[in-house]
Every structure is written in structure tokens, then in C-alpha cells.
């Protein structure tokens, strides 16, 4: 009896839905089926949305106040024409849907797809808004200068955090869209009910991805590396070219690319030549004879540094750093504004100091000394006889 009364109690609701969705509206020519005419109206509503979007965008551009610095809203409107077009189409299509003569099942299916489109639209718009905000924020910093440490710091932070937020927004958007399906929602509830074993399996499977994602956030905050930092990793010298959510691309000096997991820079030691400043001190070693005039070489080094645009003049020094059996070691120190200029400056100093010694003091170049004993040389032939 309870089941019978329950069935009879649901009958009026089913009848109401049938009357709302199944009743055909007398629109259009009688010789055109209702569902065909409803489809035409639905398409026309979408086209009307595109037309209204174009008109609105033109009016916005015409009446926009001219200014050198544009506001976030102005940039947002200009760079979200795709999402705004979809929004107009979804709104007008959804507004026209209740007045059409589709069946209840068809109307609910179309409404479901419109809901999914709206969820994806919100996620798409959020990602674009985040991208616009990041571009406007980074536009205040210039990386094409010698002292670009602060700019590279903010550039690294914003790019890494933006990628992490993009992934988070994408996962949440797709998850909400899938949860609109009853089957997926029921599976999700059962998955949460057995979260103990499921979370362990998922956690083990996604451990490398989660490790690199967390490492990316740590690098964005602590910043052991930044974009265009000069580093030495795995015995190779290069620059940090790209930092993604899971890996880092190092542009080596010979244009090769070394790809490393982002967790590498938190787990293993490496050299960062531009951690605090882009300026570097370069060293040049020369091995010369004991008769070399050190002061003359020191004066020549100062002359070379003063005449080179690569040297910043902060450090110019030459010292005898070692004395070996046959030669002495001269160490010349010169400073430059960044790593590439430091490398070129070292080569210039080395070449010009060698040329200076060859032209002015050729005897100071390394050579072997041999001393012959005259008495021993005369005694040797007599011994043979």
C-alpha cells in the first residue's frame, strides 16, 4: 500500500513536468515539426548572442576613455572576447530554451550541457583573468638591463605560481563539470567513503607529480634559482631558460638543453653564479718563468681592464699565486657585469697578456734550463777511449 501511495503521489509531479516540457507551442508554420522549429530558434538565439557581443564590444571600444595606462577591466574585456562570446551564446540560448517545444528529456539534456558550458566558461575566464593580472604585474619590471635581479625574482615567482594556479583551476573546473553527472557523483561519493585505500593508491601513483608540484611552489617562494640565472649543474654551465610546474630547462653554453626535474634543485647541490647579483669575478692563470717582471704585467692588466668595455672596474688585480719547480703562477682577477661578459673578458685578458709577454718579455715565457758541466763534458770522451 505504501508503494502504491508513493506511486500515486509522484504521478501529479510527472504530469506537471510532462505538461511543461511536452506541450508544443504554436509557433512557426504548421507544416514544420515543432522540434525542427525549436532547433532553428535555438540556433538563431546563439547567432543573436554573437551579434550582441560584437555590438557591445564595438560600443565599449568607442566610448572607452583614452588613457596611456589601461585599467585591468579594459584589458580584461579586450583579451576575453572568446569567453565573452560563449557567455552571450549560453545566456541567450538558456533564456530561449524554456519557451521551446522540445520534450522533457531533450530540454533537460540541453540544459545539462548549458550548465557544463557555464562551468567550463567560469574556469576559462578565471585562467584568462589570472594571465592578464600576471602580464600587467610583470609589465612593471624590465629584464633587459644589467642589474635585473629584482625583475627575474618576480618573473620566476609569478610564472611558477601562475602555472600552479592554472592546474588547480583546471582540475576544479573539470571536477565540477563531471560532478554534474549522477553516475560520476555517485562514484565520487563512494570513493570518498573508501578514502583510506583509494587515497593511498592515488597518492603512490601521483607521488612524482605531487613532489614536483610542491617543489615548484617551494622554488617560487625561496627562489634558489630564477629565470636566466647562470648555473652549473651536472658539470655543465648554462642559464635557467624555463621553469615549469614539473621540470626546469637549462640552456647550456653550446645551445644544448638540459631538462631536469624541478625537485632536483631542492635535493642536490648545484652552483648559482647569479644568486645575489649578476656581477662576477673572473680569474686568468698564467704560468711564466721566474724572470718575469710582475709589476710590468700588473700594469699591463690595469691598462687592458681600463680599455675594455666588458670590465666594470670593481676588481682588477694580479698576484703571484704559486711558485712551482720550473714556473711561477700568476693569477689575474677582473670583474664584469654578468656571466657572459665575464667569460669574454677573461678570454680578452688572457690573449692580450700572452701577446704582451711575447712581444716585450719573450724570455719570461716558460722554458727549460739545462746546465752543462765543462769538466764532466771533457771527461766523458776520455772515459770512452
Confidence label for 153 from pLDDT (cuts 50, 70 and 90): confident
- Whether residues 48 and 69 share a domain: the answer is yes
Average pLDDT for 193-205: 53
- 43 pLDDT above the threshold of 50: yes
Residue 23 has a pLDDT of: 46
Average pLDDT of span 27-52 = 78
Neighbours of 246 (CB within 10 A): 17
User: 27 is in which domain, residue-wise?
Assistant: 2-140
Q: If you average pLDDT over residues 287-304, what whole number do you get?
A: 95
| 6 and 136 both lie in a single domain | yes
pLDDT of 36 over the 90 cut: no
Q: Name the residue with higher pLDDT: 372 or 380.
A: 372
Q: How many CB atoms lie within 10 A of CB 316?
A: 19
Pairwise pLDDT comparison (276 vs 50), residue with the higher score: 50
Of 107, 140, 173, at which residue does a domain stop? 140
pLDDT of residue 2: 40
Average pLDDT over residues 286-303: 95
Instruction: Quote the pLDDT of residue 351.
Output: 96
CATH number of the domain where residue 221 is located: 2.30.30.60
| CB atoms closer than 10 angstroms to residue 22 | 14
Residue 225 pLDDT > 70: yes
User: Do 208 and 288 share a domain, yes or no?
Assistant: no
Q: Residue 297: which of 350, 257, 343 has the closest Cα?
A: 350
Instruction: Tell how far CA 101 is from the center of its chain.
Output: 50
Which pLDDT does position 138 carry in this prediction? 85
- Cell numbers 550548465 correspond to 115
Based on the domain organization, do 131 and 98 belong to the same domain?
yes
99 or 380, which is more confident? Answer: 99
Flag whether pLDDT at 254 surpasses 50: yes
pTM of the model: 0.61
Task: State what percent of residues in the chain have pLDDT above 90.
Answer: 35
User: Do residue 243 and residue 297 come from a single domain?
Assistant: no
Same domain, yes or no: 115 and 229: no
The answer to whether the beta carbons of residues 289 and 366 sit under 8 Å apart is yes
pLDDT of 106 > 80? The answer is yes
pLDDT of residue 202: 53
In a domain, 332, yes or no: yes
Looking at residue 260, its pLDDT comes to 94
Q: Please report whether residue 92 resides in a domain.
A: yes
Could you tell me if 319 and 261 lie in one domain? no
Average pLDDT over residues 335-343: 88
344 band by pLDDT with thresholds 50, 70 and 90: very high
Is the same domain home to 9 and 67?
Answer: yes
156 within domain boundaries: no
Whose CA is closest to 126, among 165, 159, 87? 165
Question: Mean pLDDT score of the chain, rounded to an integer?
Answer: 81
What is the model's pLDDT at position 61?
81
Query: How many Cβ atoms from other residues are within 10 Å of residue 265's Cβ?
Result: 21
Supply 346's cell numbers.
677573461
User: Mean pLDDT lowest for which of 33-47, 58-72, 77-91, 256-270?
Assistant: 58-72
Mean pLDDT of the region 207-213: 71
pLDDT digits over 128-141, tens only?
Answer: 999 988 888 888 88
Domains contained in the chain, number: 3
Among 31-40, 41-50, 133-142, the least confident range: 31-40
Q: Is there a domain that residue 372 lies in?
A: no
Whether 1 shows a pLDDT value over 50: the answer reads no
DSSP 293-359: -HHHHHHHHHHHHHT-TTEEEEEEEEEEEEE-SS-EEEEEEEEESSHHHHHHHHHHHHHHHHHHHHH
The whole-number pLDDT of residue 167 equals 85
- CATH code (residue 316): 3.30.70.100
- The pair phi, psi for residue 370, each rounded to 5°, is -125, 125
> 33 and 129 share a domain?
yes
Domain contains 180:
no
**Final residue belonging to a domain, choices 256, 272, 288:** 272
- Of the residues 94, 116, 140, which one is the last residue of a structural domain? 140
Amino acid at each position: 500500500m505504501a508503494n502504491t501511495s508513493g506511486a500515486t503521489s509522484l504521478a501529479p509531479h510527472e504530469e506537471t513536468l510532462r505538461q511543461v516540457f511536452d506541450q508544443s507551442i504554436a509557433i512557426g508554420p504548421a507544416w514544420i515539426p515543432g522540434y525542427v522549429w525549436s532547433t532553428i530558434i535555438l540556433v538563431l538565439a546563439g547567432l543573436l548572442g554573437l551579434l550582441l557581443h560584437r555590438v557591445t564590444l564595438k560600443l565599449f571600444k568607442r566610448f572607452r576613455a583614452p588613457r596611456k595606462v589601461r585599467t585591468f577591466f579594459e584589458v580584461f574585456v579586450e583579451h576575453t572576447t572568446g569567453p565573452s562570446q560563449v557567455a552571450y551564446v549560453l545566456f541567450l540560448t538558456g533564456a530561449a530554451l524554456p519557451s521551446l517545444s522540445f520534450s522533457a528529456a531533450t530540454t533537460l539534456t540541453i540544459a545539462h550541457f548549458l550548465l557544463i558550458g557555464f562551468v567550463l566558461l567560469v574556469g576559462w575566464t578565471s585562467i584568462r583573468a589570472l594571465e592578464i593580472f600576471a602580464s600587467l604585474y610583470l609589465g612593471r619590471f624590465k629584464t633587459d638591463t644589467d642589474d635585473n635581479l629584482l625583475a627575474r625574482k618576480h618573473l620566476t615567482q609569478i610564472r611558477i605560481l601562475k602555472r600552479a594556479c592554472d592546474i588547480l583551476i583546471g582540475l576544479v573546473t573539470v571536477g565540477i563539470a563531471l560532478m554534474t553527472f549522477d553516475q560520476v557523483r555517485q562514484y565520487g561519493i563512494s570513493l570518498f567513503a573508501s578514502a583510506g585505500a583509494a587515497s593511498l593508491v592515488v597518492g603512490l601513483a601521483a607521488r612524482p607529480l605531487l613532489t614536483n608540484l610542491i617543489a615548484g611552489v617551494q622554488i617560487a617562494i625561496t627562489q634558489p634559482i630564477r629565470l636566466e640565472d647562470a648555473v652549473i649543474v651536472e658539470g655543465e654551465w648554462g642559464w635557467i631558460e624555463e621553469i615549469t610546474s614539473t621540470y626546469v630547462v637549462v640552456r647550456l653554453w653550446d645551445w644544448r638543453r638540459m631538462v631536469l626535474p624541478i625537485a632536483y634543485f631542492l635535493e642536490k647541490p648545484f652552483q648559482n653564479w647569479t644568486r645575489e647579483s649578476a656581477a662576477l669575478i673572473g680569474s686568468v692563470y698564467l704560468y711564466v718563468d721566474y724572470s718575469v717582471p710582475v709589476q710590468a704585467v700588473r700594469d699591463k692588466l690595469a691598462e687592458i681592464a681600463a680599455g675594455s668595455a666588458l670590465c666594470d672596474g670593481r676588481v682588477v688585480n694580479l698576484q703571484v699565486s704559486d711558485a712551482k719547480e720550473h714556473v711561477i703562477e700568476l693569477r689575474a682577477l677582473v670583474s664584469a657585469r654578468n656571466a657572459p661578459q665575464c667569460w669574454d673578458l677573461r678570454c680578452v685578458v688572457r690573449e692580450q697578456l700572452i701577446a704582451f709577454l711575447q712581444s716585450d718579455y719573450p724570455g719570461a715565457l716558460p722554458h727549460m734550463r739545462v746546465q752543462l758541466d765543462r769538466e764532466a763534458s771533457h771527461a766523458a770522451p776520455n772515459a770512452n777511449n
